[in-house]
Structure 1
Amino acid sequence: MKIGLQIPDFSTPRGPERLGAELATVARTADDAGFEYIAVMDHFFQIPAVGPAEREMLEAYTTLGYLAACTSRAALLTVITGTVYREPGILAKIVTTLDVLSKGRAWLGIGAAWNEQESRGLGIPFPPVAERFERLEEALQVCLQMWHGDESPYHGKHYQLERPLNSPQSLSRPHPPIMIGGGGEKKTLRLVARYADACNVFAGRDEARKLDVLRQHCEAVGRDYDTIYKTVYYAFNTSHGAQRIIDDLGTLAGLGFDAAIGGVVNVWDVSPVEFIGSEIIPVVADF
């Protein structure tokens, strides 16, 4: 099993003046420690599960571009971009840019979006959930078309692109991997089966059932279930000790998950990241 770090909170002990340097230290430590992925949330306000909306939050893709320069091996992605936050043609260009500048390390993590508060706050259209899923599917189609070099017009229900040109193309071939986040059984996992290279669901939310439903969607569309990379959001708390985390990850690997991605408690102290690198990553690599 592979391990990924997601950084959900940018309220560092020494404040914004030191944030850039401290973020670089965390990312380099994770990169050197063997973390396979380094991710950030794609939110503009802090989310309730982490803290009040007013807490510091960096824009995701600017941050990933910075982290690309701070690291050399880990894949870089959002967990997870809300599809309504950026027009799909621009999103394809953003992820392509990240991929080229990171020498082929970008992923597209995307979902239907849920945070109405930040969307309304910043003037981002936030349509009803059914429309957000329609827009998500069209965004996936646009990104794939652009990454395949098809410049023919795209005419969808919500998006119209006269010439979806993408130059330069990504270094990742055939395109940056697409991860769809969320465990919705009727829509999200159906889109995973049809379009995605990877899924991401939450640990502790009936994840075994989610994989069973994904398998059913794959069968319905003629997709090989084993070609989908299964990731789970898992919060790493090293105060619980290495063995508990190893046991948890072993259980998840037994269900069929390939990677665990999540926040690390006290990440700005860096030592928990080093602990995971030395005590957990070498063990779970054999799961």
Structure 2
Amino acid sequence: MDIALHLPRFDLPGGPRSLPSVLAATARAADQTGFSALTLMDHWFQMEQPETTAHDPMLEGYTTLGYLAAQTQHLSLGLLVTGVTYRHPGLLAKTVTTLDVLSGGRALLGIGAAWYEREHHGLGIPFPPVTERFERLEETLQICRQMWSQDTGPYTGHHYQLAETICSPAPLQQPAPPIVIGGMGEKKTLRLVARYGDACNLFAFDPAEIARKLDALARHCDNQDRNPAEIKKTIIGHFDPLTDPDAFLTTMQAYARLGIQQVWVNPTGPDPAAWTARVGEHILPKLHEL
């Protein structure tokens, strides 16, 4: 099993002036100790949770990934996950392509249907009903696939019409940067994973629920005449491997038996770089054995 690093918070000691150095040190720690990927959230306002508010610091994701690409050599880089409503699909495909080229072929497209209504209204971004957001998500996946192919012709969908799908230079990764579709919905999200995704990302509430979701994904793959083994299975959850390493590894063993291949973890405490280095040095070698 691989481990990936997810950075959801920017309220770090030292304030905004410290962010470039702290983020760079954290990314380098992940890169040097063998983490497989580094991701950020795609939000403009911080999420409203018991420990955070919309007024807490939040950086724009793709700009930040461009900065971190220059600090690293091995990590895959992406957002977990891009909100489909935040960028026009043609611009999104071009943005991810640019990240892929400038990082030496390390971009991934994490994408989902978007949900945070407050930041949409706050910044004047249309927030359509959930059914329309899923329709837009499917069209966006089709557009990205077309822009990352040899087809530079038009795309005509219900929500999006593109006269030319030119994308030059093409991504370094061929045939395309991997697409990770986030979410647990069995009727819509996992159907899109089966049809368009290279990986799924599931919320790891418990292994029994993950098993049910993977069964649903397998059924969608059957309907799409696709081998489920082609899709990478990943999870994210509220895991701190350093709190109780043995318990963490036991839990990951249960997920690994289900076919989970990658887990995302979030740094805790005031020094994310030191936390990341400790996880990479002490937990990652044991996780690779699962």
Once the two structures are superposed, the pairs formed by residues 195-274 of structure 1 within 5 Å of their partners are: 195-204=196-205, 206-266=209-269, 268-274=271-277
Indicate if the aligned counterparts of 1:84 and 1:112 stay in contact, CA closer than 8 A.
yes
* 1:3-60 deviations in Å (ceiling 9; x for gaps): 0000000111110011111110111011111110000000000012351000000000
What residue is the counterpart of 1:18 in the other structure? 18
Does residue 1:27 correspond to 2:27, yes or no?
yes
What residue is the counterpart of 1:139 in the other structure? 140
Indicate if the aligned counterparts of 1:149 and 1:166 stay in contact, CA closer than 8 A.
no
What residue is the counterpart of 1:165 in the other structure? 166
Q: Structure 1 residue 239: deviation in Å? A: 4.5
Once the two structures are superposed, the pairs formed by residues 104-143 of structure 1 within 5 Å of their partners are: 104-143=105-144
Aligned length in residues: 287
SS of alignment partner, residue 70 of structure 2: helix
After TM superposition, the structure 1 stretch with the greater mean CA deviation from structure 2, 231-240 or 189-198, is 231-240
* 1:204-242 deviations in Å (ceiling 9; x for gaps): 162111111001100111010010000000333245221
Opposite residue 243 of structure 1, the aligned amino acid is: D
Indicate if the aligned counterparts of 1:238 and 1:275 stay in contact, CA closer than 8 A.
no
* C-alpha separation in 2, matches of 1:210 and 1:280: 27
What residue is the counterpart of 2:96 in the other structure? 95
RMSD (Å) for aligned C-alpha atoms: 1.1
Indicate if the aligned counterparts of 2:245 and 2:283 stay in contact, CA closer than 8 A.
yes
* C-alpha separation in 2, matches of 1:16 and 1:216: 47
Percent of residue pairs bearing the same amino acid type: 50
Point out where structure 1 has 5 or more consecutive residues left out of the alignment. none
* C-alpha separation in 2, matches of 1:3 and 1:276: 9
* 1:82-122 deviations in Å (ceiling 9; x for gaps): 10100000000000000000000000000000111111111
* C-alpha separation in 2, matches of 1:176 and 1:132: 23
Using the size of structure 2 for normalisation, the TM-score is 0.97
SS of alignment partner, residue 261 of structure 1: strand
Using the size of structure 1 for normalisation, the TM-score is 0.98
Once the two structures are superposed, the pairs formed by residues 27-46 of structure 1 within 5 Å of their partners are: 27-46=27-46
Indicate if the aligned counterparts of 1:238 and 1:265 stay in contact, CA closer than 8 A.
no
SS of alignment partner, residue 110 of structure 2: strand
- Which 4+ residue blocks in structure 1 deviate beyond 3 angstroms? none
* 1:244-267 deviations in Å (ceiling 9; x for gaps): 111111111111101001312126
What residue is the counterpart of 2:63 in the other structure? 62
